[in-house]
Amino acid sequence: MSNGKAFSSFTVAAAALSVLAAGLAPAVAGPVQMPGLEERTLVSGTGLAYRIFIAAPEEPPPAAGYPVAYVLDGNAVAGTLADLARAQGVRQGGLMAPAVLVAIGYPGDLAINMPRRAKDLTSAPATPGEGSWTYLKPEQTGGADAFLAFIQDELKPAIAASYKVDPKRQALIGHSFGGLFALHALFARPDAFSLYVAASPSLWWANGAIAAEEAAFAARPPAGHRRLLLTVGAYEQELHPGLRRQPDAPELARKLAQRRMVDGARDLAARLDALPGRPVEVTFAILPGQTHMSAAPHALLLGLETFLGPEGEEP
């Protein structure tokens, strides 16, 4: 008798769950819509398609127009930007000024589209012996100049056509390869943005080829004022304690030490800060407790706070 009662209860519960699942199915079958987030597809002049996510403020634009932040790896950060735009504005008691937040992503649902970003975000082609990157052929990398031209000549005008923006307050935010790209943009087109955020930049790429771009920039430093926020996780050069029992821990530790992410970023910040006339105002931050991947959201928030917070106002 007790067994029959238990079976009956289980049957009722299972039927209820089936009805609930059937009711939920249509709601979760399609794309999830996020309030305050607009998505567009923009095809570049070279025929490459990009997913562009835009989080625009509800507040009216200031007299000079909205500041605009362009954030790389858009598929991975679009939701975060939408939440920040809704929850961190001045109206909600936050300190971030209203801004248009633009996330640049790629077709498909991958958070990180490695083949596309490897092409767009590196200015030098892959070189032999770069570990996990050996599957990339040289022609699949080194397209940063074309990508930067797309942002400058196609994406920025498209955003300016839809919103009143302040051309003097524009930021570029990137992590890892995106951080490397932010440095390339600073060295190649220093007047393109007022703030460059290079989070955990892959300075080691192509045997440190970015050093030649830095040297050319330092030899002919531009006039004017631009800012660089350079960040790195504290555990990007040594193994995080939580990862020391991983089977590949020794190899990972060796790779982290070889790439010198922390020391390299610190040295770069010091060199740029010491340039005559200080053409770049450098802020360097080590993010406590963070690894290469966990540092990404922390750096994004810090970059937006630096750009849109009270101290981020242009003089």
The beta strands (E) that lie in the chain are given as 37-43, 49-55, 66-71, 100-105, 165-175, 195-199, 226-233, 280-287
**N-to-C CA span, the chain:** 81
Structure tokens at 213: 């771009």
Q: Are 290 and 233 in contact (CB under 8 A)?
A: yes
Instruction: Report the distance separating Cα 124 and Cα 141, nearest Å.
Output: 7
**DSSP summary character for residue 315:** -
Three-state secondary structure call for residue 286: strand
Place of tokens 């007790």: 2
Q: In what order do the strands lie in the sheet with 226-233?
A: 37-43, 49-55, 100-105, 66-71, 165-175, 195-199, 226-233, 280-287
Element (H, E) at 18: helix 2-29
Look at residues 212, 185, 211 and name the one whose alpha carbon lies nearest to residue 198. Answer: 185
**Amino acid in position 101:** L
Tokens 């630096």 belong to residue = 306
Residues labelled as active-site residues: 176, 238, 292
Burial (CB count within 10 angstroms: exposed 0-12, middle 13-18, buried 19+), residue 154: middle
Nearest to 298 by CA among 47, 14, 50, 77: 77
DSSP string, 32-52: PP-TTEEEEEEE-TTS-EEEE
Q: Are 123 and 145 in contact (CB under 8 A)?
A: yes
